[in-house]
Amino acid sequence: MKKLINDPNDIVTEMLDGFVAAYPNAVRRVPDTTVIVRKDSPVENKVGLISGGGSGHEPAHAGFVGHGMLDAAVAGEVFTSPTPDQVFEAIKAVDSGAGVLLVIKNYTGDVMNFEMAAELAEAEGIKVDHVVVNDDVAVEDSSFTTGRRGVAGTVFVHKIAGALAAEGASLEEVKAVAEKVIHNVKTMGMALKPCIMPASGEPGFELAEDEMEIGIGIHGEPGSETKKMASANEIVDELMEHVLPELELSGSDEVAVMVNGMGATPAMELYVLNKRVQEQLSEKGIGVHETFVGDYMTALEMAGFSITLLKVDDELKKLLDAPSKAPAFLK
């Protein structure tokens, strides 16, 4: 195993310190926690928006902390949910009295720990609500979750809910638009190579040189099917065959597209894949409002990608286009 790390036990702390050192004018770390917050938190009269999860998904989630997106991100150990007390510290750090919304990816540990943190906060008089993102169409149940997993579509929830919160909307309004995004966003991914866990040095699954894994998640876990390697166009076509029917799109509909790298896929290849995604949508008469290509929700150094489609209306387009100062989503 070759990784540019020091002690695997220190990797999350050193990563967070390095992130703050890169953006000292935008974010700060809550002392003695794994919480990254906006430097100006709490923002007066604004709903606080928090997300997080295990480390290893960078730039998620700290990269999406900033005006127009998240107020705080909570990091767990690699592919491990943050503890309830860490999430509770994030809630206290961003609460301005307008309430706090937790954006949780649908993994058993995340759901349990974020909900426990919400109970701790409510006991202290802080108004807290939450949404659970389940955009993955590949796997209904896995070793990590009951129901569908939350994957790269979570970034669209951060962006759109964050934009509405920045306008001064109520907690109920911010939750409603987050749920609207969750209902209209679908994702599916694949891998050419697994990632290697820093602590163990072991891959999450094995693939022969001529094999690929279809339907992977973001924790290094195997997907729904191992298949022989195919061309970029053939892989896109297969993923789109699963994603498109879920949205029940018609010729008058528009989507936002995200072609998300899993950590070790060159930008060159992501753009090749995006070309085919755009061709598919054009052939079906589906309009594309905006496209995002790059690493947004990764799995360490996994080689692969995911396709996310968000069905948009005028409200979602306006919020998606709103400015953001988050380091990983500057607009």
Catalytically annotated residues: 57, 219
Say which amino acid occupies 272.
Answer: V
Residue for token digits 């920045």?
166
Which amino acid would we find at residue 126? I
Task: Give the CA distances from residue 273 to residues 11, 26, 279, in Å, rounded to whole numbers and listed in that order.
Answer: 32, 33, 10
d(CA 175, CA 172): 5
Using CA of residue 200, residue 206, residue 209, residue 212, what is the dihedral sign? Answer: negative
Q: Give the chain's radius of gyration (CA, Å).
A: 19
User: How far is residue 181 from each of residues 119, 132, 254, 308, 327, measured CA to CA in Å?
Assistant: 25, 11, 14, 12, 22
Burial of 248 (0-12, 13-18, 19+ CB in 10 A): exposed
Tokens read off for 185: 């966003």
Rounded distance between C-alpha atoms, residue 94 and residue 111, angstroms: 20
Decide: helix, strand or coil at residue 285: coil
Give whole-number Cα distances, 205 to 34, 197, 199, 209, in Å: 29, 11, 16, 13
Backbone CA torsion sign across 228, 231, 237, 242: positive
319 CB burial (10 A radius; 0-12, 13-18, 19+): buried
